Amino acid sequence: MPALQQAGSGNVRPLVVWYWCGSKELLATLDPSVCVVTSGAEHKCHYINDENPRLSDLAAMYEKQLGCTFSQIMLVGFSAGCQGVRTQLLEGENPHGILVCDGVHSSNPAQNWQLDVWRKYLAGCGASFPLVKYGSWEGFYPGNFIRWTTTNIQPPTYAGTLETLNRVTGLELEPGPSKTNPTTTISNNATLLCYPGGTADDHIYQGTVILPKEHGLLAAQLGFAATGIEPPPPGTPSTPGTPSTPGTPSTPGTPSTPGTPSTPGTKPNLAGVGLVAAIIVFLIAREL
């Protein structure tokens, strides 16, 4: 079952759901009022099951348990945990904010459902890219936020995170020159960050350094970050994209048509010392 990491406080409070991630560093970026839950344990985040229930069911369960109502919902996936986020979108869920950190992949050749699900959510963030048109997807609304990071890791049998991002958007993004200077493209409430590096160490860096940073920035954009964490100023990418002013988080919209879930794989737990072993599986044998 999902696990409660922080109950939060207040009759109305935000909810953050972590997939394949979780640490005191992430908690430190959130206001203490935020409820935090991990989901998709036991290598089961890429389809709906007892370990990874549908988001609306998970929210209802914890609202009843805690005696509260959730205002905004933020989903966070690292590495294979991004499949947990994708699974919820395929089920028609529409969270207010999403952070996907170096884990959105597609098969070779890509299947449409693997790409369209992200295009729908990007459109709901007001993004406009060659293959993403704001307002073109029924049921998704401006006001959502997404922060999406990639590296230049080249998996042997499927598309890496940078290639998949380019497939989704129709852009031809390249990695930035350094870990402190990613190629950054902003379109309304969508922020795309392309980092250099093609090794397991680069992926670990995403999980230990970039994930907490972006976690705090997304929470700030949604209005429930810890004191002292400010939202990023609009329109200041390191490599110019299409900046504009962020909007107001939306009310969850009408569910989209679910896609076809991927074949279950075998994924390790990314907590603590298991991270290095997880990277090996990520690079060599992770299923889509």
Q: How many whole angstroms from its chain centre is CA 224?
A: 17
CB 77 within 8 A of CB 84: yes
Look at residue 176 in the predicted model and tell me its pLDDT. Answer: 97
Task: Considering only the C-alpha atoms of the chain, give the largest distance between any 2 of them, rounded to a whole number of Å.
Answer: 49
Pairwise CA distance, residues 193 & 21, whole Å? 19
CATH number at residue 47: 3.40.50
Give the pTM: 0.83
Look at residue 1 in the predicted model and tell me its pLDDT. Answer: 80
**Pick the residue with more confidence: 92 or 235?**
92
Q: What is the mean pLDDT of residues 234-258?
A: 37
Q: What is the mean pLDDT of residues 120-124?
A: 92
Q: What is the mean pLDDT of residues 54-58?
A: 96
Residue 163 sits at φ, ψ, to 5 deg, of -60, -40
Q: Range with the lowest mean pLDDT among 3-7, 117-121, 274-278?
A: 274-278
H-helix or E-strand containing 215? helix 211-222
Task: Indicate the pLDDT class of residue 265, thresholds 50, 70 and 90.
Answer: very low
Q: What is the dihedral of CA 14, 20, 25, 30, to 10 degrees?
A: -10
Q: Which residues contact 143 (CB under 8 A, 6 or more apart)?
A: 96, 124, 126, 189, 247, 248, 249, 250
**Angle 82-90/112-124 helices, nearest 10 degrees?**
80
Q: What is the mean pLDDT of residues 207-213?
A: 98
Provide the number of structural domains found in the chain: 1
Look at residue 126 in the predicted model and tell me its pLDDT. Answer: 86
Residue 167 sits in which domain range?
Answer: 3-284
Pairwise CA distance, residues 212 & 231, whole Å? 14
Task: Provide the residue type at 283 as one letter.
Answer: L
Look at residue 135 in the predicted model and tell me its pLDDT. Answer: 65
Q: What is the mean pLDDT of residues 159-175?
A: 98
Whether a cis peptide bond, with omega within 30° of 0, leads into 109 is yes
**Nearest Cα to Cα of residue 21 among 259, 279, 275, 261:** 275
Look at residue 136 in the predicted model and tell me its pLDDT. Answer: 63
Q: What is the mean pLDDT of residues 156-183?
A: 97
**SS3 for 205?**
helix
**Angle 112-124/161-169 helices, nearest 10 degrees?**
70
- In the chain the beta strands, taken as DSSP E runs, fall at 3-6, 12-19, 35-39, 69-78, 97-101, 145-150, 183-187, 190-194
**Residue 153's beta-bridge partner residues?**
none
Q: What is the mean pLDDT of residues 189-201?
A: 96
Task: Indicate the pLDDT class of residue 236, thresholds 50, 70 and 90.
Answer: very low
H helices within 67-146, ranges in order?
82-90, 112-124
In terms of Cβ atoms closer than 10 Å to its own Cβ (0-12, 13-18, 19+), residue 112 is exposed
